[in-house]
Chain A
Amino acid sequence: MESFNPDYVLILSGDHIYKMDYEVMLDFHKATNADVSIAVMPVPMEEASRFGIVIADDQNTITEFQEKPEHPKSNLASMGIYIFSWKVLKEALITMSDVNGCDFGKHIIPYCHENGRKMVAYEYNGYWKDVGTLGSYWEANMELIDIIPEFNLYEEFWKIYTKTDIIPPQYVSGEAKIFRSLIGDGSEIYGEVENSVIGAGVTIGRGAVVRNSIIMKETKIDEGAVIDKAIIAENVEIGRGAILGIGEEVPNKVKPNIYSFGLVTVGENSYIPANVKIGKNTAISGITTPEDYPDGVLESGETLIKAGEIS
């Protein structure tokens, strides 16, 4: 940081889906003579207790913070996007350098507030989504499928850039059926896809059905497999006739807070053998074999973690 010697520092999260012109926020920061600007978004009052809440006066100056309050005093949620004047940030970082697990939300922002720095709330109105949980990640993907999604990737204005390493077009065969879905480059679709987001280089075999799911790059869904409400990471193979996402919703036994929302979560480079059945709120990772599935079933709420990678 010293070698850059900036006037301002913009702090962002990598797990947010939104389009924002930071220049406008910086202009606001300068115009209000702020030391710290925090981007905030109005949320419905009844949901406000899930967020870090910012209370500001009519000059946008922040007077108080509430972290996931039971009785929120405002509906402005912090988006975790900050602009600091570098001198202020530097002083705070040096002072707080001994704090274990020093965190912007928990330590740096409260420190600046307590020391009388001028903190302002920059109100943002538009689509913004934190995809830091499996549920919100799944939801954000499903929202992209809408006919005119609130977050539109197809506008010429404000393009979203990415790294691409799969170039060829996707092939949709004569027997394939696709309904309300997004499909990436180089995929080959022979089965049925409904309400799903399919990454690049994915193969969906004959008779396979994928519904309400996210399938990532280069994963292979073999013939006749049925997948409902799953997140399947890169380079996974789901064996023939396997059925994912059946049965009742039971909380995950190991990490109920993470593996929830009724999802089946499959980690990257995993293999799921043919004809097994897998319940909801489950997590699977690694090369699994038929022996890992008692009576061919992984019940809802179970976790199955094995080592190994498919070649």
Chain B
Amino acid sequence: MRAVGIILAGGNNYRMRELSNKRAIAAMPVAGSYRAIDFALSNMTNSSVQKVAVLTQYNARSLNEHLSSSKWWDFGRKQGGLFVFTPTVTHDNSFWYRGTADAIGQNLDFLKKCHEPYVIIASGDGVYKMDYNKVLEYHIEKKADITVVCKDVEPGEDVTRFGVVKMNEDCRIEDFEEKPMISTSHTISTGIYVIRRRQLIELIERCVQEERHDFVKDILIRYKNLKRIYGYKITDYWSSISTVESYYKTNMDFLKKEVRDYFFRQYPDVYSKVDDLPPAKYNPGSEVKNSLVSSGCIVNGYVENSILFKKVFVGDNCVIKNSIILNDVYLGDNTHIENCIVESRDTIRANSYHIGEDGIKIVIEKNERYVL
């Protein structure tokens, strides 16, 4: 592969509500057994990218723990491999990453030392499968300066959290609006870009000089009339989990057979860090309908249209409906959970009642699990 990968995983936003209190969005658990960043990392390794830098800063501990060994994604290698860069205070810099361009700017040395002619930039919150080689081929064929991977959303779908693009017949991007309130276009940017490495260095160096920090605003939008910026449209599954609602919906999508088959059964695989957990255990009294259950779970109650992440304990007579129970949660007997996301490692006392009346309720109780 003639490209080096950069995964922007620094982000956090208020739309994730309490879920991002303790972790970067890229470290959010997805589909029972994965973390959001697994999708971008697996795409990198499946596209034969041999060197990937993950740029992260906010609540990086959870992400760092997940990335502690690079072997899970096959990056444990002598040349290249997986690099995790958090901001560091140096003689010339005392700032955090002030934006996506600044994050790359603070790691320009890494890019300068690379020899690969191209760079693939992806974000850590996308759930998708993609062969980046195809984007790169397109990029070369179009003689583009920057290629932006785009997707059409349903007319009427809320685009206020996306960059919205307008392309001409040749797919050159003529207009780019960042997070518009309303837009006439329904083609959004997925935050995946291909760019020539020297071109990127040049653009970023200019940003650094001018104290500009944002890749979208200060490069894509600012340069769109000067540089050849092209859109590469995808039609396959792609979802960004960066709001509570989209996080919930993306997880629930995995209850559909075609989505599971696409991600779990079709080549190539999505990789993740593997824990040594026993199989899920269904005790008498358990009843599970249309749900995903991960390893290490023990189920004693009723579970419907829900996703149990790893090591969830469901007590006797519990009722779990339309909910996401994150890793290592203990649900005491007779608990009722409906339309909720229960934060990981939590302990819910017996006889608790949680229901999301209008929208998804996030349950965080922080009880002690073992009381002596």
How far in angstroms is the closest Cβ of chain B from A97? 39
Partner of A174, one of B31, B290, B294, B298: B290
Interface string of B29-43 (1 = CB under 8 A from A): 001111000000000
Given contacts A154-B281, A169-B32, A186-B264, could you give 9 more A-B pairs where the C-beta distance is less than 8 Å? A153-B278, A169-B293, A171-B293, A176-B288, A182-B282, A184-B279, A184-B295, A185-B33, A199-B279
- Residue from B270, B288, B290, B292 having most chain A Cβ neighbours under 10 A: B288
| Contact across chains for A169 and B279 when beta carbons are under 8 A apart | no
Is B204 part of the contact surface with A, judged by Cβ < 8 Å? no
Q: Provide 29 A-B residue pairs closer than 8 Å at the C-beta atoms, listed in order of the A residue.
A: A154-B296, A154-B298, A161-B276, A164-B276, A167-B33, A167-B269, A167-B272, A167-B274, A168-B31, A168-B32, A168-B33, A168-B260, A168-B264, A169-B31, A169-B292, A169-B295, A170-B293, A170-B294, A171-B292, A172-B288, A172-B289, A172-B291, A178-B286, A179-B284, A182-B280, A182-B281, A183-B293, A184-B279, A200-B279
How far in angstroms is the closest Cβ of chain A from B368? 16
**For chain B residues 23-59, which have a beta carbon within 8 Å of chain A?**
31-34
**For chain A residues 182-208, which have a beta carbon within 8 Å of chain B?**
182-186, 188, 193, 197-200
How many interface residues does A have (CB within 8 Å)? 34
- Distance, CA A180 to CA B282, complexed state (A): 5
How far in angstroms is the closest Cβ of chain A from B335? 19
Partner of B283, one of A147, A168, A200: A147
| Contact across chains for B280 and A183 when beta carbons are under 8 A apart | yes
| Contact across chains for A164 and B274 when beta carbons are under 8 A apart | yes
* Set of chain A residues within 8 Å of B279, measured between Cβ atoms: 182-185, 197-200
| Contact across chains for B289 and A183 when beta carbons are under 8 A apart | no
Instruction: Tell me the A residues contacting B by CB distance below 8 Å.
Output: 145, 147, 153-154, 159-162, 164, 167-174, 176-186, 188, 193, 197-200
* Set of chain A residues within 8 Å of B271, measured between Cβ atoms: 167
Is B263 part of the contact surface with A, judged by Cβ < 8 Å? yes
- Residue from B270, B281, B308 having most chain A Cβ neighbours under 10 A: B281
Query: Who on chain A is nearest to B288 by CB?
Result: A172
Partner of A172, one of B276, B278, B293: B293
| Contact across chains for A183 and B282 when beta carbons are under 8 A apart | yes
Query: Who on chain A is nearest to B72 by CB?
Result: A167
* Set of chain A residues within 8 Å of B292, measured between Cβ atoms: 169-172
Q: If A164-B274, A164-B276 touch, does A171 touch B282 (CB 8 Å cutoff)?
A: no
- Distance, CA A183 to CA B31, complexed state (A): 17
The main secondary structure of chain B at its interface with chain A is: loop
- Distance, CA A301 to CA B290, complexed state (A): 40
How far in angstroms is the closest Cβ of chain B from A182? 4
How far in angstroms is the closest Cβ of chain B from A140? 14
* Set of chain B residues within 8 Å of A171, measured between Cβ atoms: 255, 260, 291-293
- Distance, CA A159 to CA B32, complexed state (A): 21
Is B144 part of the contact surface with A, judged by Cβ < 8 Å? no
* Set of chain A residues within 8 Å of B278, measured between Cβ atoms: 153-154, 160, 182
Is B3 part of the contact surface with A, judged by Cβ < 8 Å? no
| Contact across chains for A185 and B282 when beta carbons are under 8 A apart | no
Is B307 part of the contact surface with A, judged by Cβ < 8 Å? yes
* Set of chain B residues within 8 Å of A180, measured between Cβ atoms: 282-284
| Contact across chains for B276 and A160 when beta carbons are under 8 A apart | yes
Interface string of B118-132 (1 = CB under 8 A from A): 000000000000000
* Set of chain B residues within 8 Å of A172, measured between Cβ atoms: 288-293
| Contact across chains for A178 and B288 when beta carbons are under 8 A apart | yes
* Set of chain B residues within 8 Å of A177, measured between Cβ atoms: 287
- Distance, CA A159 to CA B278, complexed state (A): 9
| Contact across chains for A181 and B294 when beta carbons are under 8 A apart | no
**For chain B residues 164-209, which have a beta carbon within 8 Å of chain A?**
none
How far in angstroms is the closest Cβ of chain B from A197? 7
- Distance, CA A102 to CA B335, complexed state (A): 60
- Distance, CA A172 to CA B274, complexed state (A): 22
Query: Who on chain A is nearest to B296 by CB?
Result: A154
How far in angstroms is the closest Cβ of chain A from B299? 8
| Contact across chains for B33 and A181 when beta carbons are under 8 A apart | no
What 4 A-B pairs are tightest by C-beta distance, nearest first? A169-B32, A153-B278, A168-B264, A169-B294
- Distance, CA A184 to CA B278, complexed state (A): 8
- Distance, CA A268 to CA B264, complexed state (A): 23
| Contact across chains for A178 and B294 when beta carbons are under 8 A apart | no
Query: Who on chain B is nearest to A166 by CB?
Result: B264
- Distance, CA A173 to CA B305, complexed state (A): 9
- Distance, CA A103 to CA B274, complexed state (A): 38
